């Protein structure tokens, strides 16, 4: 209901503000996740980020379980990634970014990592909103709004909640909750590729995230009108690859 929507702050920036920050308009933003997700040293991880961004990508990303393992502590990763992002920006003349995963065991550590990313001049951070929890995510969204950083949201663990047909919470509901809690991007899966989903439902997720008003359309799983009023939209991320 619109009365409830207005009690929530929603995305810290939104689609239009992000495009203004990155100075990229009229096209999708192209990014990738660094692979292998685990096992690289911080230096080699930074090198991979540089090569991707220098090669033409707009953004690169930590995988959801890239956190702070013995072979690559988060401080070292942040430093090498920042060096890579700034070098790619200088050489291409474009704004670049890398989603630095700040998900942590407790909110204090999460904010410590976010502050370090800000000190390094990074434009965007990332949070696993289901494993971190809605309260932690809402707090991080408020921090990003105050500090001028973009917030990428990964949906790690969603399949445990939404895939079983007879119990759980549908991803459509989780996506709405995320827009209310706050995030500038959210993975929606794709109609093709590794995370294949139903075309109509997937397009319904996309509209629920980015449009201001979504009319009832039962073919796409939208059972009633949704009015987001003036709440900014969320970038729907075609996650899981397209091949």
Select from 141, 135, 140, 174 the least CA-distant residue to 155: 174
Out of 35, 37, 142, 170, the active site residue is 35
Residue 85: is it exposed, middle or buried by C-beta count within 10 angstroms (0-12/13-18/19+)? buried
Phi first, then psi: what are they for 151, rounded to 5°?
A: -125, 110
Out of 152, 154, 158, 187, the active site residue is 154
| 187 is known as an active-site residue | no
| 166 is known as an active-site residue | no
DSSP assignment string, 137-170:
HHHHHHHHHHHT-EEEEE-TTHHHHHS-TTSS--
As a whole number of Å, the end-to-end CA separation of the chain is 38
Report the sign of the C-alpha dihedral through residues 208, 96, 43, 148, in that order: negative
E strand intervals along the chain: 31-33, 59-61, 97-101, 124-128, 150-154, 185-187, 213-214, 226-227, 235-237
Q: At what angle do helices 107-119 and 134-147 cross, to 10 degrees?
A: 30
d(CA 147, CA 125): 12
The catalytic residues are 35, 154
């Amino acid at each position: 209901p619109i009365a409830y929507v207005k009690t929530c702050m929603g995305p810290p920036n939104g689609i239009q503000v992000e495009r203004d920050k990155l100075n990229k308009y009229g096209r999708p933003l192209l990014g990738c996740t660094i692979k292998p997700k685990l096992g690289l040293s911080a230096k080699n991880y930074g090198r991979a980020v540089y090569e991707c961004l220098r090669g033409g990508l707009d953004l690169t990303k930590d995988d959801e379980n890239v956190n702070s393992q013995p072979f690559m502590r988060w401080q070292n990763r942040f430093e090498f990634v920042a060096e890579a992002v700034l070098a790619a920006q200088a050489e291409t003349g474009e704004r670049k970014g890398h989603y630095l995963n700040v998900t942590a065991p407790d909110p204090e550590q999460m904010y410590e990592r976010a502050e370090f990313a800000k000190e390094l001049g990074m434009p965007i951070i990332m949070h696993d909103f289901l494993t971190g929890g809605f309260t932690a995510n809402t707090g991080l969204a408020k921090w990003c709004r105050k500090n001028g950083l973009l917030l990428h949201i990964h949906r790690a663990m969603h399949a445990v909640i939404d895939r079983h047909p007879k119990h759980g919470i549908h991803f459509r509901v989780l996506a709405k909750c995320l827009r209310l809690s706050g995030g500038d991007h959210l993975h929606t899966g794709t109609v093709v590729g590794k995370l294949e989903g139903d075309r109509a439902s997937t397009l319904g997720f996309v509209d629920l995230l980015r449009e201001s008003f979504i009319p009832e359309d039962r073919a796409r799983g939208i059972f009633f009108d949704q009015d987001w009023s003036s709440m900014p939209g969320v970038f729907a991320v075609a996650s899981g690859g397209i091949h």
